[in-house]
Structure 1
């Protein structure tokens, strides 16, 4: 059982670190002054690997177009706006810095993406975390660093282990992509949320 869990952890890290990835600083600035406004949380569920239930989602908020590549545009959310769970080894929602990637070819599904890091931030309940973000935004200035957690219900720890340390080190700071979104309802909410940006270009 321990060997099975260890292999599962390695598999999960490989998925998180990904195969083809890049860093934000290596991408061009977005040529379009746009953003995606999500009035509610969105998420997708899939069964991967050994029929393991996985879920990825984006929290309510504004996702601003900051970078682009030849195939699409990266819309970044504020702080930790992306979350994921894995029924086998990541049951608590893990909070990630990232956003939504929208391909230029609209026949392809958008993708959630995140910046890979060593530290793991989790929350007990994603809905409570959403409410906490709303209160935080309304009462205090914006958190400047993506490494700052919002509130006491966010736990942080560091991924360790000799087996995965090399993969982790190689992946830190890279943009990693979740699989394309197939859910028509989720895709519709993303595209209907596209609008001219209300924030000043950086």
Structure 2
């Protein structure tokens, strides 16, 4: 592989890392907050607000139901307002983030709901404040599942970032489309697929190892 060709792969790889890393940092942070709110406002939970919970849950379901490619197009005005352009790596961060927030929120919510209710009741009986229960009981107990959900979400975002390449977002997806598909360079398409498989495998292995280390039940 010539140096100019290698540079294209390196640039595309780091564009993908930038897209995924920036989007994941924002989306996982907001998604976790959303998951906590959904968990503690449910009926018979720490801050029961059934109507608010149902409305928020329905909103999350609506955003989860929208396919990424449709959301990508629908958010073009928002992307242009926030970033100043609808093309390039940073423009892809907006739809990637919005797409991942409800996805990760549901995964984290499942982990939070699986925490033994007896632990929460024991903390309440000892006089712990509700926020302390969230911080010192719910989150630590659900941490392995939360980290596992992060792994799944980041991998899903890598897939979405490749799709965003079809509309000029840059990264490995853009490289595969422009050179592998439009110019019929099958080798480029194959090499991009190999890189994406390697990247996903590394993230999966790291996420599983970290989740097992945090799981004090085993």
Alignment TM-score, normalising by the size of structure 2: 0.26
Name which one, 1 or 2, has greater alpha-carbon Rg: 2
Structure whose residues are more often strand by fraction:
1
Alignment TM-score, normalising by the size of structure 1: 0.27
